[in-house]
Structure 1
Amino acid sequence: MPADASGLDALLERVLGKPTAKGLATLGLATVGDLLRHYPRRYVEPGERTSIADLEVGAHVTVVAQVERATVRTMRARSGAILAVVVSDGVNSLDLSFFARHAGALRPHESRLVPGRLAQFSGTVSEYRGTLQLTHPDYEVIEDVEGLDEMPPTPIYPATAQMPSWKTARAVHAVLPALVDGLPEPVPVEVRARRGLMPLPEAIRTVHAPAKVADAYRARRTLRFEEALVLQTELARRRHAALVLSATPRPRPEGPSLVADLDARLPFDLTAGQVAVGEEIAADLARAHPMQRLLQGDVGSGKTLVALRAMLQVVDAGGQAVLLAPTEVLAQQHHRTLTALLGPLAEAGMLGDLGPDGAERATRVALLTGSLGAAATREALLDAASGRAGIVVGTHALLSERVQFADLGLVVVDEQHRFGVEQRDALRSRGDDVPHMLVMTATPIPRTVAMTVFGDLEVSTLTEVPAGRAGITSHVVWADRPAWVQRVWQVVHDHVAAGERVFVVCPRITGDDASSSDDADLLDDLAAQLGGAAPGGSAHGDSPQGAGGPTPPARRAVEDVVRELEAMPVLGGAAVGTLHGRMASEDRDRAMAAFLEGRTQILVATTVIEVGVDVPLATVMVILDADVFGISQLHQLRGRVGRGTLPGTCFLVTRAEEGSDAAERLTHLAGTTDGFELALLDLSVRREGDVLGASQSGGASSLRLLRVVKDADLIAEAREEATDLVAADPTLAEFPALAAAVEARLRDVETAFLDRG
């Protein structure tokens, strides 16, 4: 069978039959091409045993071990028989249990699993009376033990209960010979030669059937480079395409300006980083092609002020700017912040008119969200369409066709990962010229992640925190230590008594509904991510941990916690408020206003407060069930306190076992406030595709072998090659296989994964 597109696109059901295809479907594999690109996650050398000591309860594993004993007996507590098998890696043992209605049904297993025999066993690890075990594992006996030294390595594939590793291996080898030699080659021959890479057919064959483990890892490097080159080529094409787009230049005026007036009224000096990044953005805005820049900075680094100065430069030049926020809470917060920073500079009529209170130059900041009343909506729409508002702040309501602008010159997108590409492009396409684009993120992004995903954007980074910020101290609190928990609530009381504010964060809204997570939360995704490891599973298993594991304890819910705090004597009747994404907009507004004004001292909320909420008197945050949140998300949450001159304290309350991975992550978080260090830690425990933002397209990570931190040097090499290829041939007409691979990537992942600018 030739390896043309039809061969690779052939459905597995037609090629391998329904039973095998059904099992492979549990791995997300539907076509022959999917199967060929389903790579082994590790290799077992001939005779190598799996370390039983490293197995984790709940993990689905493939274990290579030797049978020590096997015994069939009748069960005492109920009818039926059990085959109890003990296998060993030479140091530790593992129990295997097989059940049947009568002993005779177990004899075939007993005859194969004789002492001394080596086999592969696949199943979910459980614990019974303190001993690890596999119940009814699939297994494959290794018959030729004497010839083990001459045998090739055994590939171990990501597996499910329905599809153990060796069944996947058989399926791969059934299609490999007929298809592999004719595979299209995306990497140009001169690039392969320059980088010392295998031809693709050789790499695919070797990764699935290596003669030596070293050969497999050389093949994997070739496949990682191919993956990086395809990704970087599309990013290079987008950078090239942006150069031919036109935009209205918005240079900073030589004389008096709104930017200068804002700087003069600030009660503090800009940090050196804010000045430097501001100059980069100012230069971009003055050019005749659209700015495409990512502005990243840690919590409290002053990104909003940098964005405001950019928006004012556009207003000074006669244009308008839009600030697009992912939630109404954040949009309202931005509107309050910008208005407060501008003061009388935000109280003008038409663009360029004289403002009140002596402001010679002024503009107006309009707010447009879906929950505004009819009269307020009409006024905001008129402000935007007439140009009376130089700055318009809003949510997805700004994307409506009825929202028109007089002269849209700049779009600022806050918290980019919360928006789909279609939403952002709806604004970007407004007007005759493409507006300039500034993407802000408060989630620190390691350099290689930025290069991989935001590779078509210039990146500016704020590393300093403005003077006057008192900082945050974090503590891990074990929920099973009552004295520690009681001390937390005593600290809450003391700060409330001093006139300060306290956030209490919960992962759920209600406790009686498993699907009651906040529509503004990412908790369901994060729980799934934290339940699994990198693509392909845990360090020792073959599928995400947690499959078949014990049911986790119920997570704390806002409604339950509010009742508990109101009845807690130590809090002395402090006023407790509620904030979550299911509340009506006007109720959320009232809740935030009460908290800001001190009518509510304690606010129990979901992660709707994760970004942007600014309450200067908020000094304490208590995060319940902290272990179910992602590291970067916890870092964003605790950034809501200590934003004024008073120091902040964050308590990370957890039911995780001390010494567990979850507990170690929280301890690491408590030990540093360096967001970039924490982002790297987050990458180690979350699927990289989710960190990169693949979740906005509704799918899991599309990265197969490429790892954006581990493969930094390789990605840089691919970026260099891709840039040269696109510069020489922007349409990739001379490289049809590479062009086809890029198009296939876009179909698979959606443009949203790549198109960040």
Structure 2
Amino acid sequence: MRAERSTGLDRVIGARSGKKFAEQLGIATAGELLGHFPRRYLARGELTPIRELPFDEDVTLMAQVVSSSTRRMNTRKGSITEVLVSDRPGQTNGPSTLSLTFFNGVKASRQLTRGVVAMFSGRVGMYRGRLQLTNPIYELLDPEELDAEAAAKLAGRPIPVYPATAAIPSWTIAKAMGTVLGAVDLSSVPESLPERLRRKYGLPSAAEAYRMIHVPENDAEWRIAQQRFRFEEALVLQTALARRRAQHAALPSRPSPARRGGLLDAFDRGLPFELTAGQRDVGEVLAHELSQPHPMNRLLQGEVGSGKTVVALRAMLQVVDDGGQAALLAPTEVLASQHYASIRATLGPLVREGLLGGAGDDGVEVALLTGSQSAGEKKRSLLAAASGQAGIVVGTHALLSEHVQFADLGLVVVDEQHRFGVEQRDALRAKSLATPHLLVMTATPIPRTVAMTVFGDLETSVLRELPAGRSPIATHTVGLVENPSWERRIWQRAREEVDAGRQVYVVCPTIGAGAGDEGDLDELDAATWGGSALAAPEPLQATSVSETAEQLATEPALAGIEVGVLHGRLDTEAKAAAMRRFAAGETGVLVATTVVEVGVDVPNATLMVILDADRFGIAQLHQLRGRVGRGGHAGTCLLVTRLEPGHPSRERLEAVAASTDGFELAQHDLEFRREGDILGASQSGRRSTLRLLRVLRDGDVIARAREDALELVADDPELERHPELAAAIADYLDPEREVFLERG
């Protein structure tokens, strides 16, 4: 009896092996193993016998480890592992043996022990008159394969290398794959790609592709198979997004057409500056979409200081002019309070102070709702929202509470999209009878291919211009290993800024003083290291706010200057007081965590010192430095690191120092991080849901798939004529994983 894709793997390869695969790799069925694709292939061309190795050429050979030793290097830091291999079992010297050298090869020293068989690939070099391979790539093989017959069988054929673990090496997975391929009737595998699209792009069937990717006869076969599965993956994602967009567009919404002579016109007349061309263009798009009877669903991205908040405020006033309400959801109390104060200050005389009757031609009431407010303050804000008295309500997660009601919610603005999940956004949107319009803002620039993949159900607008009066920010990497005297110069530089009447931020990665966590870096691990080939920083003790504040209090260069402290563990009153004193100029230097990353606006701050900057991701560094140079004075950002020159993590610092273009940096970020958390893995606790598709490399594939998906959904919204594709979407994007579609 033939096995099905849904058959338990233990029934195909045995209970013991099946249990091991489930525990080690999370693979429980035959179909899941078929979807475990090779990460690369070895043996391009013939296997080369050791005795025939050509000098200075790339070779691939199969051999057994004869001996292995590791020692410390004398002339520089690190270790050297020397491995002797032979392709003739039993021979320990002579022309059938070869020396392999690995510098700092911890993995090689652990894996390449006596008796181990592996496939080695590298360029043949010479050392002391003998041929050798230096740092060759290798893949462990089944010891039974080291014979002439096996070598002849493998020669010339690509050998798949699978994502593996120490307990289940690649060759064990390959053996299990062979068993599954012999047991499963591949002709019965559902074909999720519509026949028309397979013909259009010349792609093989699912059955052919599974064989070609796991047991290819040549390199061309596995490349064709990868193309098929890559496009299939892109089509599944894009069809899911296109269907979500179509379903959302079909919902009823509250149209709010622009009205002449209302609050928006009065606001525009009172602006002390000219809107940029980008702000005007985006404003016209929003005005049109807000007037439609179906919900707007738009992503607004732009640099720090590009004027997103003014654009959002104008949209909110259009809704208020029509008698509706707008809600602004912010990720932190600091940011919510900043938005509340900024909106009120920007509106000026158009703010109404809690008068009954709601918004009108003469003004709008703005309410604030956060979790730490007093009972009386909360009660007043809740009543203002529920009665319609408040036209604009600003808040944190407290807005999502079941106790919060709105009289007529017409627009939801979400700031810093990546801090909120789909459930939280939907909770706010559910507080209105008709689906409210949605405007999502992010100050983290997103490359086009990422936006297309992650935000495919949102229309996207970009603000690239900076308003007049914003000064450029000079960014420098400060390496303390090669220049230890620069540490004292940093604080002298801070003194110069304060003496000139300016102010200074000092950002640290941790809180310290027994806080028991990594400060406010809630995105540090995934944003900086997730899915990356980079190593984590050296095991240096991270600089903390508490230690730095103590140090600066006794720093001679800063004598007489008040040093403030701000981090997420302070209570709301203490945080507000710290920000108030800094904004008023009473505090010359503010030592903080990344709580100042977004929303904090002190125009007089001109210098930012980021300690242990290598512990932050590119996006965070770019966001942080956007806090200075906001008031017409030139800004400076110092990226301080204790890592040695040449360390991979310093490449990110050099990239940030070399460019102030957020979109260029976002592309660098994607290149450094690979795909790790592009689809929300850091938020959902999973690795990336992508298998073969790579956002950076496959932008053209994603674009083609998007066009095809939009056409499919327009012609068949429920995919009734494409049940296999609908099933693939349901299988690939189960409800728990689907949240990535609305993450950034």
What TM-score results when the alignment is normalised by the length of structure 2?
0.87
Mean Cα displacement is larger for which, 678-687 or 385-394?
678-687
Mean Cα displacement is larger for which, 425-434 or 518-527?
518-527
2:665 — aligned with what?
678
Q: Distance in 2 between matches of 1:712 and 1:219?
A: 18
Q: Distance in 1 between matches of 2:215 and 2:366?
A: 63
Task: Say if 2:301 and 2:441, in contact at 8 Å, map to a contact too.
Answer: yes
1:94 — aligned with what?
102
CA deviation map 1:45-72 (0-9, x unaligned): 247899xxxxxxxxxxxx9667698458
2:352 — aligned with what?
347
Mean Cα displacement is larger for which, 265-274 or 693-702?
693-702
2:223 — aligned with what?
217
Aligned counterpart for 1:249 among listed residues 235, 244, 255: 255
CA deviation map 1:603-650 (0-9, x unaligned): 222212211111111111111111121111111111111111111111
CA-CA distance at 1:171 after TM superposition: 2.5
Correspondence 1:72-87 to 2 at 5 A: 85-86=83-84
Task: Say if 1:249 and 1:289, in contact at 8 Å, map to a contact too.
Answer: yes
- Does residue 234 (structure 1) correspond to residue 236 (structure 2)? The answer is no
Q: Distance in 1 between matches of 2:69 and 2:412?
A: 73
Task: Say if 1:507 and 1:517, in contact at 8 Å, map to a contact too.
Answer: yes
Q: Which amino acid aligns with 2:240?
A: E
Correspondence 1:482-631 to 2 at 5 A: 482-510=484-512, 516-518=517-519, 521-529=522-530, 532-533=531-532, 538=533, 546=535, 552-631=539-618
CA deviation map 1:184-228 (0-9, x unaligned): 111111111111111112112211221112221111111010001
2:637 — aligned with what?
650
Q: Which amino acid aligns with 1:94?
A: F
2:273 — aligned with what?
268
1:56 — aligned with what?
none
Q: Distance in 1 between matches of 2:554 and 2:657?
A: 29
CA-CA distance at 1:350 after TM superposition: 5.0
Q: Residues 413, 517 of structure 1: CA spacing in aligned structure 2 closer, same or farther, 3 A cutoff?
A: same
2:147 — aligned with what?
143
SS of alignment partner, residue 691 of structure 1? coil
2:182 — aligned with what?
177
CA-CA distance at 1:715 after TM superposition: 1.0
Q: Distance in 2 between matches of 1:98 and 1:226?
A: 35
Q: Distance in 1 between matches of 2:524 and 2:506?
A: 16
Task: Say if 1:578 and 1:604, in contact at 8 Å, map to a contact too.
Answer: yes
SS of alignment partner, residue 507 of structure 1? coil
1:41 — aligned with what?
39
2:89 — aligned with what?
none
Q: Distance in 2 between matches of 1:753 and 1:512?
A: 34
Q: Distance in 2 between matches of 1:403 and 1:517?
A: 33
Q: Distance in 2 between matches of 1:561 and 1:685?
A: 30
Task: Say if 2:477 and 2:638, in contact at 8 Å, map to a contact too.
Answer: yes
CA deviation map 1:319-378 (0-9, x unaligned): 0000000111111111111111011211254587788xxxx5200111100000111111
CA deviation map 1:128-170 (0-9, x unaligned): xxx9999x99665543386378441111222333332222222
Q: Distance in 2 between matches of 1:449 and 1:171?
A: 35
SS of alignment partner, residue 171 of structure 2? helix
Q: Distance in 1 between matches of 2:552 and 2:11?
A: 57
Task: Say if 1:346 and 1:362, in contact at 8 Å, map to a contact too.
Answer: yes
Correspondence 1:418-433 to 2 at 5 A: 418-433=419-434
Task: Say if 2:278 and 2:464, in contact at 8 Å, map to a contact too.
Answer: yes
Aligned counterpart for 2:313 among listed residues 304, 308, 311: 308
Task: Say if 1:507 and 1:523, in contact at 8 Å, map to a contact too.
Answer: no
Q: Distance in 2 between matches of 1:5 and 1:71?
A: 43
Q: Residues 484, 28 of structure 1: CA spacing in aligned structure 2 closer, same or farther, 3 A cutoff?
A: farther
Q: Distance in 2 between matches of 1:240 and 1:257?
A: 33
1:727 — aligned with what?
714
2:472 — aligned with what?
471
Q: Distance in 1 between matches of 2:201 and 2:681?
A: 29
Q: Which amino acid aligns with 2:636?
A: T
Task: Say if 2:359 and 2:390, in contact at 8 Å, map to a contact too.
Answer: no
SS of alignment partner, residue 714 of structure 1? helix
Task: Say if 1:384 and 1:405, in contact at 8 Å, map to a contact too.
Answer: yes
Aligned counterpart for 1:22 among listed residues 4, 20, 23: 20
Mean Cα displacement is larger for which, 519-528 or 293-302?
519-528
Q: Residues 12, 614 of structure 1: CA spacing in aligned structure 2 closer, same or farther, 3 A cutoff?
A: farther
2:94 — aligned with what?
none
1:79 — aligned with what?
none
CA deviation map 1:495-533 (0-9, x unaligned): 1222222111111122767x612356312333542xx42
CA-CA distance at 1:229 after TM superposition: 0.6
2:130 — aligned with what?
none
Task: Say if 1:624 and 1:652, in contact at 8 Å, map to a contact too.
Answer: yes
Q: Residues 562, 97 of structure 1: CA spacing in aligned structure 2 closer, same or farther, 3 A cutoff?
A: closer
CA-CA distance at 1:663 after TM superposition: 1.5
Q: Distance in 2 between matches of 1:41 and 1:85?
A: 25
Task: Say if 1:47 and 1:148, in contact at 8 Å, map to a contact too.
Answer: no
CA-CA distance at 1:395 after TM superposition: 0.5
2:202 — aligned with what?
196
Q: Which amino acid aligns with 2:645?
A: E
CA deviation map 1:562-599 (0-9, x unaligned): 11211211221422222222222222111111211122
1:299 — aligned with what?
304
Q: Residues 709, 97 of structure 1: CA spacing in aligned structure 2 closer, same or farther, 3 A cutoff?
A: closer
2:93 — aligned with what?
none
SS of alignment partner, residue 6 of structure 1? coil
1:377 — aligned with what?
378
CA deviation map 1:410-441 (0-9, x unaligned): 00001111111111000111221010000111
1:437 — aligned with what?
438
Q: Which amino acid aligns with 2:371?
A: G
Superposition CA RMSD, Å: 3.4
CA-CA distance at 1:691 after TM superposition: 3.2
CA-CA distance at 1:97 after TM superposition: 9.8
1:159 — aligned with what?
164
Task: Say if 1:456 and 1:756, in contact at 8 Å, map to a contact too.
Answer: no
1:6 — aligned with what?
6
Task: Say if 1:67 and 1:86, in contact at 8 Å, map to a contact too.
Answer: no
Mean Cα displacement is larger for which, 704-713 or 503-512?
503-512
Q: Residues 90, 463 of structure 1: CA spacing in aligned structure 2 closer, same or farther, 3 A cutoff?
A: farther
Q: Distance in 1 between matches of 2:594 and 2:147?
A: 55
CA-CA distance at 1:696 after TM superposition: 2.6
Q: Kindly, what percent of the aligned residue pairs are identical?
A: 52
1:367 — aligned with what?
368
CA-CA distance at 1:695 after TM superposition: 2.7
Correspondence 1:309-324 to 2 at 5 A: 309-324=314-329
Q: Which amino acid aligns with 2:479?
A: W
Q: Distance in 2 between matches of 1:648 and 1:12?
A: 62
Q: Distance in 2 between matches of 1:646 and 1:29?
A: 58
SS of alignment partner, residue 406 of structure 2? coil
Task: Say if 1:248 and 1:433, in contact at 8 Å, map to a contact too.
Answer: yes
Q: Which amino acid aligns with 1:344?
A: P
2:30 — aligned with what?
32
Q: Distance in 1 between matches of 2:464 and 2:729?
A: 35
Q: Distance in 2 between matches of 1:354 and 1:345?
A: 10
1:186 — aligned with what?
192
SS of alignment partner, residue 504 of structure 1? strand
Mean Cα displacement is larger for which, 689-698 or 471-480?
689-698
Q: Distance in 1 between matches of 2:514 and 2:496?
A: 32
Number of equivalent positions? 697
Task: Say if 1:39 and 1:207, in contact at 8 Å, map to a contact too.
Answer: yes
Q: Distance in 2 between matches of 1:188 and 1:366?
A: 52
> Where does the alignment leave 5 or more consecutive residues of structure 1 unmatched?
51-62, 76-82, 101-105, 122-130, 539-544
Q: Distance in 1 between matches of 2:367 and 2:245?
A: 33
Task: Say if 2:43 and 2:60, in contact at 8 Å, map to a contact too.
Answer: no
What TM-score results when the alignment is normalised by the length of structure 1?
0.85
2:701 — aligned with what?
714
